[in-house]
Structure 1
Amino acid sequence: MASDDEPSAPRAPGNRAVALGVLAATVPVLLAQAASGAGSRLVLLLVFVPALLAGLGTVAQTVAASVWVTAVVAVHSALYPPADLPARLGTLLGVVAAEAVVIALCARRVRRERRLFRMRQSAVALQRQLLRPLPVRTAELELFGLYRPVEEDTLIGGDLYDVADTPFGTRVLVGDVQGKGLRAIGTGFAVLSAFREAAFREAELTAVADALEAAVGRHNAYAAQGGEPERFVTATVLCVRRDRDGRTRVRAVDCGHLAPCLLHADGRVEAVELPAGVPLGLADLVGEPRAVGCFALPADGVLVLLTDGITEAQDASGAFYPAERGLAELAGAGAGAEALPEALDGRARRWSGGRSRDDVTVLALRRAGGP
């Protein structure tokens, strides 16, 4: 099924449009040639028609236009020959050589576009394997979100997220790999793979975080053997589960990531305080076990998870975007969980003048069946 982020093959103009365009260019040139007399060589301006088409059309269209232009120039030379035969032959050979170069350049462009299209298809396939399409709905929650890598043409970057509907509740991961873009993919893939296994296997949320820690350690050891730099990952791991009394509880483990924000129906924004933890990959430097924080998710509340692509957006003066204030304004304006990620990213981009410094991920979670 096609989606908005699926790459589309480059489209060339239709053959009918090309034919009409070539004729529309030929007629005024021939009229100008007739008005200026036989001694002028305005007809040679038609050589630029295939050159322009080479940047947009197919190779076949460029060849057809080149043949047409060469034939027009040959007929004109036959009807109004230059003073000597060598000049006539030189004109024709020059036109043929120019059109041959144009055709070669068009073929090169088409090959490059096809190669880039295949690469983009591969990037889309990789993105779908790495990142779950949004929105996601489980028995406990509805999750909406936005993911935008700083290198937008790559479709993938250093941010990561995932959702797992497990027997222990809905488990959510959001993280940010040290570094940006394609260089951070390997570490992100190691974390996601570990989460998708541990989320279903481990009953304790701290055990899930420990599995992610071990995955980053193994990946760093492997990367060091190949001369690649070691990286750490900031992350938040959550588990959302509905109690027997109907209340929805959130348990969360902080791994050096930005604090979640809880939006209330009255427009208040509350930064959720969690027991501090170090990023994944650095636990050996501290040696302390990770702790779990617990809080309730109100029926009319929205829990927002961010990466620093939002909070580190800077305006011309260097001031960072006030994410909590932006969330409060959006909540006060009645923005729902569905629209909130796009709206917040749009505000941050306007704040920074459209300049992106880092990958952006915004996730908005609400209770299943919420407003």
Structure 2
Amino acid sequence: MPRIRLPRVRRQRSARPPDTVEPPSTAELLIGVVVVTLLVMALGSVANSVVWLVGFMVFLPGAASALCTVRQTVMVCVWTTFVVAVVVLVPVDGAATGLDRVLIVLITVCLGVASVYACHRRIWREREMLRLRSVAGAMQRQILVPLPFGTADVVVDGLYEPLQEDRLVGGDVYDVVESPWGTRVLIGDVQGKGLPAVGAAFAVIGAFRAAARRDRELTAVVDFLDASVTWHNVRAERAGDDERFVTALVVDIGPRGDARAVNCGHVPPYLLHGGAVTEPRLTSGLPLGLTSLTDEPVTVDAFPFPPGAVLLLSTDGLMETRAADGTFYPVERELSRRARLLPDLLPAALCADARAFAGGGGQQDDVAVLTVHRAPRPT
């Protein structure tokens, strides 16, 4: 089958890490420093204690080290030291300069040096984090299939948002494989968080890519996925880590107007066709890694998937999004409102609506949403 790779157009994220602060411009910095200086002088004149109130200016270098560049921090430190030295050391009415005033200037100089060093360390850490995230992004593009992904049967689109942006991948996984028997789509959710969960996710993705092209029967593909999770748990147990299970949904879409699926304890899909939203009836089995607890065989369910229909696959990060009052996000209701939205726009619309629904709670879990669109075949 010929593979159709479609260009991906997405709004690029800023190169600056999301937890860093954009430094102010030089003009903004100068205005702020002058305003603070004049305010301190004015308060000192009113209180008739300029020498002691000027000590509050030592907070300027500390604030600059957290917000500004190294050069800007040096400028603030030099200005602060100059102002403190002039106000504190210049004799007034012939009075001699006391040791306490000299100590104020020395403390200001020391705090300035410490602020410049702190600023340098902050910027170094930001650059290291940006470098690590760039490497993680490049690795993620090699591990997860870039979307959209087109085959002879369908076009798969969607988005993936890990809860922690600096993580390579989260507990949610997906993959699309074009096999000799049709297009096979995987979406899964690894139990737990952190690096051990990522290791189980890699095991599932690698096993799916091997079995989806090798095994004709969907049951054989799922059995191999379960075995890969079991092998991963054996290695994890030997290393002293916790065992993991994986909920997964494997869908097989052929050239005909139907689809087959195996649900391993995962969130059920939704079918959008003609403005209506339905939930295909799938038998929910045990998650991968737990099938040894039962003697029940793997069940393959078939359901209609006509041309023009869209199959929406997601993880529980979407449906378990909660509002401030504890209400869960109504996925089916919101899908009905957007049933006629273009498949490539639907995942982003749902995720944006879920974030708005959560309010101040923000994103609460990894979120993966896929749309599998069976384009109408030409007559």
TM range (shorter): 0.7 to 0.9
Q: Does structure 2 retain, via aligned residues, the 8 Å contact 1:38–1:80? A: no
Aligned residue in 2 for 1:339: 345
Q: 1:339 to 1:18 in 2, by over 3 A?
A: same
Distance 1:348 1:71 in 2: 53
Deviation per CA, 1:327-349: give whole Å up to 9, x if none: 22221xx3221222223234444
Change (3 A) 1:41 1:322: closer
Q: Deviations over 1:106-155 (max 9, x none)?
A: 23333333343334334433432332232222221112212223345536
Deviation at 1:43, TM superposition (A): 4.5
**Is 1:301 paired with 2:312?**
no
Question: 2:59 matched to 1:51?
Answer: no
Task: Tell me, yes or no, if the aligned pair for 1:249 and 1:294 is still in contact at 8 Å.
Answer: yes
**Matched residue, 1:277:** 285
2:366 aligned partner = 359
Q: 1:325 to 1:29 in 2, by over 3 A?
A: closer
Normalising by structure 2, what TM-score?
0.82
Shift of 1:365: 1.2
Q: Distance in 2 between matches of 1:122 and 1:25?
A: 42
The reply on whether 1:264 has 2:238 as its aligned counterpart is: no
Match of 1:251 among 222, 236, 260: 260
C-alpha change, 1:184 and 1:264, in structure 2 (3 Å) is: same
Q: Deviations over 1:172-204 (max 9, x none)?
A: 100111123544111111000111222222232
* Corresponding residue for residue 194 of structure 1: 207
- Which residue does the alignment assign to 1:312? 320
After the TM superposition, which of the residue ranges 116-125 and 187-196 deviates more from structure 2?
Answer: 116-125
CA distance in 2, matches of 1:318, 1:90: 57
Q: Which amino acid aligns with 1:263?
A: L
- For the residues of structure 1 that align with 2:253 and 2:373, how far apart are their CA atoms? 10
The one-letter code sitting in structure 2 at the alignment partner of 1:251 is R
Taking structure 1 as reference, are residues 315 and 88 closer, same or farther at Cα in structure 2, changes over 3 Å only? closer
> What residue identity is the alignment partner of 1:108?
R
| Preserved contact between residue 51 and residue 87 of structure 2 (Cα < 8 Å) | no
Q: Hey, what does 1:287 align to over in structure 2?
A: 295
Matched letter for residue 66 of structure 1: C
Paired letter, 2:288: L
CA RMSD, Structure 1 to Structure 2 (Å): 3.1
Residue 185, structure 1, aligned to residue 189, structure 2:
no
Q: Distance in 2 between matches of 1:112 and 1:329?
A: 45
1:327 counterpart SS class: helix
Query: Are positions 1:223 and 2:229 aligned together?
Result: no
Residues 1:324 and 2:342 are matched in the alignment: no
Distance 1:30 1:313 in 2: 52
Shift of 1:282: 1.8
Structure 2 letter corresponding to 1:236: L
1:74 aligns to 2:81 (yes or no): no
Question: Which consecutive unaligned segments of at least 5 residues does structure 1 have?
Answer: none
SS of residue matched to 1:55:
helix
Tell me which moved more, 184-193 or 92-101: 92-101
- How far has the Cα of 1:38 moved from its partner? 9.5
5 Å-filtered alignment, 1:110-129, equals 110-129=123-142
Report the CA distance shift for 1:56/1:2 in structure 2 as closer, same or farther (over 3 A): farther
- Evaluate the alpha carbon distance shift between residue 262 and residue 181 of structure 1 in structure 2; reply closer, same or farther with a 3 A threshold: farther
The CA deviation string for residues 288-311 of structure 1, in whole angstroms up to 9 with x for no partner, is 432322233222321111212223
Which letter maps to 1:298? P
Counterpart contact for 1:30–1:43, Cα < 8 Å:
yes
Cα distance in 1 for partners of 2:265, 2:89 equals 80
User: Would the aligned equivalents of 1:135 and 1:145 in 2 still touch at CA under 8 Å?
Assistant: yes
Greater shift, 150-159 or 205-214, is seen at 150-159
Q: 1:16 to 1:209 in 2, by over 3 A?
A: same
For residues 286 and 83 of structure 2, the distance between their equivalents in structure 1, rounded to whole angstroms, comes to 74
User: Identity, % of aligned pairs?
Assistant: 44
Q: d(CA) in 2 for partners of 1:320 and 1:39?
A: 58
* Contact kept in structure 2, 1:312 and 1:320, CA below 8 Å: yes
Using structure 1 for the length normalisation, give the TM-score: 0.84
Unaligned runs of 5+ in 2: 1-8
Which secondary structure state, in structure 1, belongs to the residue aligned with residue 66 of structure 2? coil
